[in-house]
Amino acid sequence: MFRKADDNALWAIGISLVLFFIGGILTTVVPPLVDTTWAKPFENRDPAKGITGKVTSLTDLQKKGRAIYVREGCWYCHTQQVRTLLADTKRYGWRGVDAPISTPDEFVFDDPHMFGTKRTGPDLARIGGKYDEQWHRTHFRNPRDLVKGSIMPPYPWIVGDPAEFKAVVAYMQSLGRGKDWRPANDYEK
């Protein structure tokens, strides 16, 4: 079969594509059909079944903030996924409560997805409600004023535009809130 591909270009093309499509289809088209949680938004009202909450699509303001997050490439340095690693749940917890692990059903409305690949800065999957608006204002203006040793770039053009700043903060405060993980609902505004 493969010998024939030495001399016959059409044959070579045919086999290359068939071999490619076996894995291609089984790993792209099939998984979302098999695993339905990829497309079903998280919702749980029964505390007995674990953490409660409901994932909804973003408001217009949050969407605008999200677009800025995409535009400025925040996602190159910040992931949005609490992985199935103890260290992740501990590190990205808050005030003694571990962060819940991220599950596919929390990201159904994410487009583009913002899982990210690199943590030059900390993960932001559960950042929503950890810091208040004033903190974010100071931090965006110059991160080193609040976090000594930070290498995050300053974003004066976001802070300088009240509409943009409000949108970004609205987006960030929404992150990870589909799962209502704070026991006393002690989210910052």
Partner 1 sequence: MQPQFSRAEVAKVPEGALVHEDSTAKWFLVSSVTYFFIVGIIALIIAAKFVWPDLMGTMSWLSYGRLRPLHVNGMLFGWLLAADMGLAFYIIPRLCGVPLWSEKLGLATAILWNIIILGAVVTLLAGLNQGWEYAELPWYLDILVVVAWIMFGVNIFLTVAQRKHQAMYVTIWYTMGCILWTAFVYLTGNFATLFTTGTNQANLNWMYVHNAVGLIFTPIGLAIAYYFIPRSSNTPLHSHKLSMVGFWSLAFVYVWTGAHHMLHGPISQWLQTIAIAFSLMLLIPVWAVVYNLFATMKGQWHQLRESVPLKFLMSGVVFYLLTCFQGPMHSLRTVNAIVSKTDWIPGHAHMAVLGCFSFFAIAGTYFVVPKIWGRVLHSESLANWSYWMLMIGGLGFYTTLWLGGFWQGWQWNNWSIPFIDTVIALRPIWLVRFFSGVMMFIGIVMFAYNILATVTGANEEAAA
Q: Which residues in 10-29 contact partner 1 (CB under 8 A)?
A: 12-13, 15-17, 19-20, 22-24, 26-28
For residues 155 and 72, the answer to whether their CB atoms sit within 8 Å is yes
Q: Which residues in 68-97 contact partner 1 (CB under 8 A)?
A: 70-77, 79, 81, 83-85, 87-88, 90-91
Question: Of the listed pieces 113-121, 131-139, 167-175, 180-188, which binds partner 1 according to CB under 8 A?
Answer: 113-121
Residue 147 as a binder of partner 1 (CB under 8 A): the answer is: yes
| DSSP letter string, 18-84 | HHHHHHHHHHHTHHHHH-GGGTS--EE--GGGSS-EE--PPPHHHHHHHHHHHHTTGGGT------S
Pick the closer one to partner 1 by CB: 147 or 185: 147
Cα distance between residue 100 and residue 85, in whole Å: 11
Residue 131 as a binder of partner 1 (CB under 8 A): the answer is: no
For residues 125 and 75, the answer to whether their CB atoms sit within 8 Å is no
Residue 119 as a binder of partner 1 (CB under 8 A): the answer is: yes
Pick the closer one to partner 1 by CB: 71 or 186: 71
Q: How far is the CB of 109 from partner 1 (least distance, A)?
A: 6
Tokens of 143: 């991160």
Q: Which residues in 32-61 contact partner 1 (CB under 8 A)?
A: 32, 34-35, 38-39
Q: How far is the CB of 114 from partner 1 (least distance, A)?
A: 7
68 burial class (0-12, 13-18, 19+ CB within 10 angstroms)? middle
Question: Of the listed pieces 44-52, 104-112, 168-176, 177-185, which binds partner 1 according to CB under 8 A?
Answer: 104-112
What's the chain's Rg over C-alpha atoms?
A: 21
